Structure 1
Amino acid sequence: MDTELFPRSRAEVAPGAVHLPDWLDAGRQRELLEACRDWARPPAGLRTVRTPGGGTMTSRQVCLGRHWYPYGYAHTVVDGDGAPVKPFPDWLGDLGRRAVADAFGGGATAPYDIALINFYDAEARMGMHRDSDEKSDAPVVSLSLGDACVFRFGNTESRARPYTDVELRSGDLFVFGGPARLAYHGVPRVHPGTAPRELGLTGRLNVTLRVSGL
């Protein structure tokens, strides 16, 4: 926002966890949103994720490169329509490597090959969890589009405190690796109606890039 009393700047939320506000400009946000809309279409499109205990996640998800399901990866949408997962585009991998370079001053050690795209409406949440199904310790890259949210970044031992709440807005980048790679994190709240009007998105999209190591 141009009217910020205290302009937002790069912040190290924890060792290995970096928040870069407004990393994506308005044009790049629109491009990424249009790509997400294409990826969300069936087959292998946006789906509701069901947990082994019979519950459902309130955010909806589509995957690229490999399909994530609780708790593993597959080449097809094994918990949905069974279609082959959509390919992971090279340009998205380039974006991931640039994100790591901007956050840490160095490149990723392996190419990004997986994306998980979660859509949050006004009521959606994400419980505290760890991204631990990969065989690589490369940093996780998280990009936000649309409504702002409270992003809760915790510790590596449990879902409980200590944790830090960070406001993520459209265009923000959050990268976590090194000692923070397996930290618990979640989204306890979305702020509806806060998306940039010119983006044309109701709700929040989170694009998470990972290196599978598989």
Structure 2
Amino acid sequence: MTYIGDVETAQFAAGTGLVITKNNATSNGIDKNELTAELTDAYGNPIEGQKIEISIEEPTATDDGSSKFTTNPRNAVTNELGQVQITVTNTQHEDVNVTASYTASATGLSEVSKTVTFGVIASSDGYPCLDGSFACIPTYEDPAFPNEILVPTPSKQAADVLGFVQGVDYHQYLGTDQQEYRDYSSPDGPRVKSHNTARSYQT
């Protein structure tokens, strides 16, 4: 015998309504935290074919829209098990609150939330580029400065990984007979050196 869930009493049950299945993803915009939302009726029968609402919230101090989510099914309609899979990515080291909600005609709003964590990128995680190189760092050659290559100031995330401290100037000039170099370096992190003089947009 197959029980058909009662849509009028659909809800997210305590403990099973929203479950974290993968946590502590790296904050590289690719690694994912995963959750499963499950909609059931008052008797625990799965509710199929109902669209649920998913929202995410970053901490106020770091709320810059860096966190993104997708659902499976893509339209967030519950499958035969009453479930929707949720994946969340981020480029910030922070906790993100994930909320699933549904309003039933008889029981009203049902809402459940969980918090997932995104960790700092380690230097062994292919940083700064996915292949472990520096090839993805944008550069610009200004005709006004023919012996220089312009590179952007590292983002806060890059600075954190490289060990940069705010307010400390890590640009160093190393004179040679033929060429001048400018380094982006930290006391403990990797060193990036250009064969031409490199200067940042902002120092």
Question: TM-score, normalising length from structure 1?
Answer: 0.24
> More helix by proportion, 1 or 2?
1
Question: TM-score, normalising length from structure 2?
Answer: 0.25
Q: Which has the larger radius of gyration?
A: 2
